[in-house]
Structure 1
Amino acid sequence: MNTTLRLSPDAAGIARAAALLRAGALVAFPTETVYGLGGAATIDAAVRGIYEAKGRPGHNPLIVHVPDLAAAERLAVFDDQARALARAFWPGPLTLVLPLRTGAGLSPRITAGHPTVAIRVPAHPLAQALLRETGLPVAAPSANPSGKISPTTADHVLDGLSGRIAAVLDGGPCAVGVESTILAPGTPPRLLRPGGVTAEDLARVLGTLPIRPEDAARPEAPGQLASHYAPEAAVRLNATAPQTGEIWVGFGPCAGAALSLSESGNLDEAAARLFDVLRRADRLAGPGGRIAIAPVPMTGLGLAINDRLGRAAAPRP
C-alpha cells in the first residue's frame, strides 16, 4: 500500500499538491463544502483513477473545478441565465450543468456520456490557490469511498482513502459541510441536487423556484443515486425519541440525545456538522447498529440536509 501524504496549507504544500495533480496523481483538498478528490480533468488516467479509488460507478459524472468564470467558459457554453447565476454565486457552493464546449479537452469519463458538464468555482482560499497553481481544470467528487459519508476534515479523507491516493492538502474543517447545489439552467431551471446555495437564493436570481426532477437511473449529475452518504448503521428519520438500542441524533431541544446536529436548531450549524455527526453516531452504534435522527425543517439549508439524510437512510444496493 502506498503512503498518502498529508500536506500543509502553505506555499510548499500547495506547490507539491499542484505538481502531483499535473503529473496525473490524485490529491484531496478542501472546498467550502466538503473535501474533494482531485484529479486533472484533462488527463484520462487521472480521471479513471478517481473512479477506481472511490469505487465510483462509471455512469455517475464528475464535477470540474476551475478558478473563475473565464476558465469555466472555456469548458462549457453559457447563456445569459447561466452567466447571471455564475456572477451571483461564484465563487461559492453552486455547480452548473451546462453544454460541453466542443474542443474543451476534458476526459470523456467526466461527463459519463452526457453532452453536458458539471462545473463550479469553489470559494475556499486553499482550493482557489491550488487551482491557480495547478493551471488545469480539476475533477473532484467528494473524497470518500463511493456511497459513504462525505468528508469534512483531512482525517475523514484518510479514514476512507489512505493508501489509495497520493496526498491530502489539510485545510482544516469545511465551513458549509454539505456538497454544492447542482442546477441545470433552462426553462424551467432544474435543481438536480440541493446544497450550499438554497432554492430560495436561486429564486432571487432566476425569478422562480427551480423544479426538482425525479432521480434518474442514469444520473445527470453527482448526488442523484438513491443510496448515498451512508453510514454502516441503519438510519431512521424524523425520530422524536429513540427506540431501544438506537443512537439518537437531535436537532434543537432533544433531551437525552447522544449527539446533536445543532442544539439551538440552527440550520447552518447543522449542515456544517452533519457528516461529522453521522460518523460519530456510526462509531457509537457499532456493527449492526441503528441511528435515529430528529426532524429537520425543510426550509433553507434544511432541504440539502434532508436530501442527504434521506439518501443515508435509503435501502443499500
Structure 2
Amino acid sequence: MQTKILSISTPDALERALEFLQEGELVAFPTDTVYGIGTLAFNAAGAAKIYAAKERPPDKALPILLGDTEDFEKVAINIPEIARKLAKAFLPGALTLILPKHPDIPKTVSSLETVGIRIPNHNFTRELLRAAGPMAVTSANISGENSPISAKEVYAQLKGRISLVLDGGVSASGTPSTVVDCTRGEVVILREGAISKETILESLAA
C-alpha cells in the first residue's frame, strides 16, 4: 500500500480525505493532542484495519471523535447530565467521555457496553468530522510506541499500512486526552492527561 502525505492547507485536502474514508481506507490527521488514525465510526471493516495497522490488541475499544456536541446521540445513549456538564466545560478539547454505547456502533469499534467520545479542538479536523460524520480514532502509532506529534512521525511508523497522512504541522500539545467514565453515577478518571483531575473536579463543583 502506498501512503500519501498531504498538507491540510492543500485546497482539496478535505475532499481527498473524505474519498479515502468513504472507500473504507485509513486516514491519519492532526488533533489538539497527538496525531490520530481514523475510519468512519460505523464501518466495522475499517475499524478492523486500524487494529491491524497498529498491531493493537482487539480487546481495546476505539474512541470516537465528533465534530459537535449535537452529535453525541449518534454514538451514545442515556447520556448522563454529568457528561453534558463536562462537555460544556471542556469540549472541544482534550477530554474523552466514556458513555453508554449506541447499539449501532460496531463491536469492532467497541465490544463493551460503553464508548469513549471526544471533540478535538482543531479547526481542520472538526471540519473533516462534520463532513464525514463520527469517526473511530486512536493515536497514529504502532501500539506501545510513542504517540506521534507530526506527520513525519506518523509516516515513519505507519508507512505502507495506511492510505493518507494529513500534515498539519506539529501538534500543539502532544499530551493525550484525559479520560473520564461517566457511566457509574459519579466521575471516575481512568486516565489523567492534558486536563488535570483537580480541574475536572473543580468544574463539577462550580
Query: TM class, shorter-chain normalised?
Result: over 0.9
* Misfit runs of 4+, over 6 Å: none
What is the Cα deviation at residue 177 of structure 1? Answer: 0.8
Structure 2 match to 1:39: 39
Structure 1 match to 2:91: 90
SS of the residue aligned with 2:18?
helix
SS of the residue aligned with 2:86?
helix
Report how many aligned residue pairs link the two structures. 203
Aligned sequence identity (%)? 40
Q: Deviations over 1:154-195 (max 9, x none)?
A: 000001001100000000011111111100024431111111
Counterpart residue identity of residue 127, structure 1: T
TM-score by length of 2: 0.94
- State how 1:1-317 maps to structure 2 within 5 Å: 2-10=1-9, 11-77=11-77, 78-102=79-103, 105-111=104-110, 113-134=111-132, 136-185=133-182, 186-207=184-205
C-alpha separation in 2, matches of 1:72 and 1:202? 20
SS of the residue aligned with 1:192?
strand
TM-score by length of 1: 0.62
Larger Rg: 1
Counterpart residue identity of residue 82, structure 1: A
Unaligned runs of 5+ in 2: none
Aligned CA-pair RMSD: 1.3
Counterpart residue identity of residue 204, structure 2: L
Is the CA contact 1:34–1:142 (under 8 Å) kept in the aligned structure 2? Answer: yes
Structure possessing the higher relative contact order (Cα contacts under 8 Å, 6 or more residues apart): 2
Q: Deviations over 1:53-99 (max 9, x none)?
A: 00000011111001011112221131211100011111111000010
Unaligned runs of 5+ in 1: 209-317
Counterpart residue identity of residue 202, structure 1: I
What is the Cα deviation at residue 106 of structure 1? Answer: 2.0
Q: Deviations over 1:243-279 (max 9, x none)?
A: xxxxxxxxxxxxxxxxxxxxxxxxxxxxxxxxxxxxx
Q: Deviations over 1:190-246 (max 9, x none)?
A: 1111111111210112239xxxxxxxxxxxxxxxxxxxxxxxxxxxxxxxxxxxxxx
Is the CA contact 1:14–1:169 (under 8 Å) kept in the aligned structure 2? Answer: no
